[in-house]
Amino acid sequence: MGTSIEVDGLHKRFGGTKALDGMTFTVSPGRVTGFVGPNGAGKSTTMRVVLGLDTPDAGTALVGGRRYATLPRPLGWVGALLDAAAPQPGRSARNHLLWLAHSQGLGRRRVDEVLDLVGLAGAARRKTGGYSLGMRQRLGIAAALLGDPPVLMFDEPFNGMDPQGIVWMRGFLRSLADDDRTVLVSSHLMSELQDTADHLLIVGRGRLIADTSTAALLAAAAGDRVRLRTSAAAAAATALERAGGTVVLTGPQALTISGVPAAEVVAILGAAGVPFAEVAAEQVSLERAYLDLTSDAVEYAARPGAAPPGSGAGPAVDGAHAKDAVR
């Protein structure tokens, strides 16, 4: 059976800043879970609490039912990439990993395995000071994998990756989930997680906004609207309204219909002999759905109509609270 991460009612303040405000969720094995939210939403703090690096003011964070500090050989349970600063610029990647492996009682073989897994075998003997940010991310991931843990947490792993690196990372995350591992990946950009995350935890202002499968979020955001292009707009509207649809004219030959699925629109128009050029279920991007959900939770947002940068006006602070969790 896989190992879950359970976060329950975490609260954490840094001085006057409320970093976590009741953060609660469970991360399950066998899928890639995206941990997304605007800057300052509390993603890194949550991960740090799970790893015992920050102490919460209230609440619990458990891995496999235990606090990180009480896990026997914790690196065999949880591997994490938190920030990809060069470990010791003068040391090679291989030496860095050998040193880490040694501290965990692991041998050279595992070091070479993980270097290979992350695509760094060819650069393993180069000093990490000369590594690009993308290479440092790979090295951080190699270190996280050393103990072959069932739980992996990566904080913004796409940072600094070039397009090939991003494609590689997506496939890599998928392979870890296919191995029945628990994979939690944070990002402040939903687009990075598109086609990668099966499940999404969307957070803002220190709490959960939505806990949803990616497919369900897209389906809910798309609603049931259908776009229609026809040279017989009036006849189409009559036929579709008679079938219970709500029709809005959006252009001379363009209609938007709600309440009737696309396949039925086609059947109704066909039966009524109304010609049409296009019928399409409205597509909503994941990015749009995410921006709609988190619009109230962005810490620093330009107010519509606010003065442009350089005019002396500072960023507008949106004082609204995060929306209630949608489960």
Closest by CA to 261, choosing from 234, 278, 240, 275, is 240
We find the least distance from the C-beta atom of residue 41 to ligand ATP, in angstroms, to be 4
Please select the residue that binds ligand ATP; options are 39, 90, 109, 273, rule is CB under 6 A. Answer: 39
Binding piece for ligand ATP, criterion CB under 6 A, among 34-42, 66-74, 215-223, 307-315: 34-42
- Per CB under 6 A, 45 contacts ligand ATP: yes
We find the least distance from the C-beta atom of residue 124 to ligand ATP, in angstroms, to be 29
* CB half-sphere exposure, 275, CA atoms < 13 A: 4
Q: Is residue 102 within 8 Å of residue 75, measured between CB atoms?
A: no
Residue 257's φ and ψ, nearest 5 degrees, are -120, 135
We find the least distance from the C-beta atom of residue 214 to ligand ATP, in angstroms, to be 19
We find the least distance from the C-beta atom of residue 299 to ligand ATP, in angstroms, to be 7
- Per CB under 6 A, 150 contacts ligand ATP: no
For ligand ATP, the closer of residues 41 and 184 by Cβ is 41
Closest by CA to 171, choosing from 215, 161, 82, is 161
Distance of CA 47 to the CA centre of its chain: 14
Structure tokens given for 116: 């290979």
We find the least distance from the C-beta atom of residue 72 to ligand ATP, in angstroms, to be 28
- Per CB under 6 A, 188 contacts ligand ATP: yes
Binding piece for ligand ATP, criterion CB under 6 A, among 11-19, 73-81, 109-117, 263-271: 11-19
Per-residue b or e along 77-99, where b marks 16 or more CB atoms closer than 10 Å to that residue's CB: bbbbbbebebbeeebbbbbbbbe
For ligand ATP, the closer of residues 45 and 137 by Cβ is 45
Residue 65's φ and ψ, nearest 5 degrees, are 80, 5
Please select the residue that binds ligand ATP; options are 29, 34, 42, 134, rule is CB under 6 A. Answer: 42
Please select the residue that binds ligand ATP; options are 29, 34, 40, 147, rule is CB under 6 A. Answer: 40
Q: For helices 133-145 and 93-103, what crossing angle results, to 10°?
A: 20
- Per CB under 6 A, 294 contacts ligand ATP: no
Question: Can you count the helices (H) and strands (E) in the chain?
Answer: 10, 13
Neighbours of 203 (CB within 10 A): 28
Contact positions vs ligand ATP (CB under 6 A): 14, 17, 19, 37, 39-45, 188
